[in-house]
């Protein structure tokens, strides 16, 4: 007899476009850090929908906001104002460098808005955007072109014109790539999809200085680092480097699909009616969820708890480096965006480690063929972290 997981998998495999290598599990319920599959099995989710469930699954205040808004107004064209969208924009402006916000549906769409703004706000003939090797900026065609990993380009060539990828960490090479057509440099403070790889603070400061000296715009893609993931509302706030344009998504709506492009008053003035739009961007229900999410995060002591648990988590992962030097070599990242970098030998076991942990009831993933990635809800408890560390220890010992 087929289990419920097997039944749903079989049905899905007959009707979905096969763009995902899905695990043979159908999730039916979430609560905090915990997920439950169709057969009633419980998992501790240290992937959080890939950094989306910032406050955990079905956080009661977010759920209440969604239900309340769904009973009042679900959609209206952006030809009209809505209360949740205005409240969200006010919160983002009050708590970031930005003066203006454009609402989108996703990180890729927010990045598209950022790239369009960089081009329209730059002098005629300046359209080139330089990103970094190893970057990931989304799955739409322009976002794929901006992504500095050739594997994401394959099969979709030719890429849209105007995107170049500088070697990671090489400022001189980056500067050498700037020409008369360049309008912006775009980067993630921590590259998530290439294995939780942080950009050094001095490197980011040098990029900012380079942009200022050469008249370029600096775009921070904070889709994954943003909304509390690194231990502050946005990563740039810890770095002393302020972008001209920033994108946000993933954790912004705690699971509801929403993205945002944030910028200054001066740049925003270049986006006039007709230059850009989104049918569903800033949807009232998604915005209500985002307002509730940000309101929780901005409460006193929220980030001190996140950072205290992060310190505990990092210390536990560091013990693995000392205990299994043949398999793991380094812990990197900050807040609840952590990577355990595998050795060359360990990389061969990356996917088997993920699978073995799933069998034990823990969800993580293997990012960039380099590191085990841990992006759990920011509300994960110390006890849950210890359970994951124990399971990881057992798994590494079994190799």
Spatial separation of the C-alpha atoms in residues 327 and 394, rounded to whole Å:
13
Concerning whether 152 is annotated as a catalytic residue, the answer is: no
Annotated catalytic residue, options 250, 303, 362, 366: 250
Spatial separation of the C-alpha atoms in residues 212 and 49, rounded to whole Å:
36
- Separation of CA 150 from chain center: 20
**Token output for 201:** 């603070």
Annotated catalytic residue, options 45, 168, 220, 221: 221
Concerning whether 280 is annotated as a catalytic residue, the answer is: no
Spatial separation of the C-alpha atoms in residues 232 and 289, rounded to whole Å:
19
Concerning whether 313 is annotated as a catalytic residue, the answer is: no
Annotated catalytic residue, options 136, 168, 220, 374: 136
List active site positions.
Answer: 136, 221, 250
């Amino acid at each position: 007899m087929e289990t419920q997981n097997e039944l749903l998998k079989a049905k899905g495999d007959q009707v979905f476009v096969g763009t995902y290598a899905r695990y043979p599990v159908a999730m039916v319920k979430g609560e905090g850090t915990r997920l439950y599959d169709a057969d009633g099995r419980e998992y501790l989710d240290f992937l959080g929908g890939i950094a989306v469930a910032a406050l955990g699954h079905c956080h009661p205040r977010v759920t209440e906001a969604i239900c309340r808004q769904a009973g009042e107004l679900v959609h209206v064209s952006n030809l009209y104002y809505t209360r949740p969208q205005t409240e969200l924009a006010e919160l983002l402006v009050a708590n970031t460098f930005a003066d203006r916000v454009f609402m989108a549906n996703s990180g890729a769409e927010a990045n598209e808005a950022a790239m369009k703004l960089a081009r329209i706000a730059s002098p005629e003939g300046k359209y080139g955007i330089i990103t970094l090797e190893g970057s990931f900026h989304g799955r739409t065609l322009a976002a794929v072109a901006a992504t500095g990993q050739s594997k994401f380009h394959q099969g979709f060539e030719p890429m849209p014109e105007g995107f170049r990828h500088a070697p990671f960490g090489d400022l001189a090479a980056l500067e050498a790539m700037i020409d008369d057509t360049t309008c912006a440099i775009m980067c993630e403070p921590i590259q998530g999809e290439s294995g939780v790889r942080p950009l050094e603070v001095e490197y980011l400061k040098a990029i900012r200085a380079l942009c200022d000296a050469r008249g370029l715009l600096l775009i921070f893609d904070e889709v994954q680092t943003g909304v509390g993931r690194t231990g502050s509302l946005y990563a740039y706030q810890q770095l002393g480097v302020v972008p001209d344009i920033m994108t946000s998504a993933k954790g912004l709506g705690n699971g509801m699909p929403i993205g945002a492009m944030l910028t200054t008053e001066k740049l925003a003035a270049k986006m006039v009616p007709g230059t850009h739009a989104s049918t569903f961007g800033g949807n009232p229900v998604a915005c209500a969820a985002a307002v509730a999410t940000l309101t929780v995060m901005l409460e006193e002591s929220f980030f001190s708890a996140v950072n205290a648990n992060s310190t505990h988590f990092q210390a536990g992962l560091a013990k693995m480096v000392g205990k299994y030097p043949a398999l793991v070599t380094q812990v990197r990242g900050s807040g609840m965006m952590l990577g355990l970098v595998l050795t060359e030998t360990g990389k061969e076991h990356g996917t088997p480690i993920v699978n073995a942990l799933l069998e034990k009831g823990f969800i993580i993933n293997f990012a960039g063929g380099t590191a085990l990635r841990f992006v759990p809800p920011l509300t994960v408890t110390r006890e849950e972290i210890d359970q994951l560390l124990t399971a990881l220890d057992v798994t590494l010992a079994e190799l």
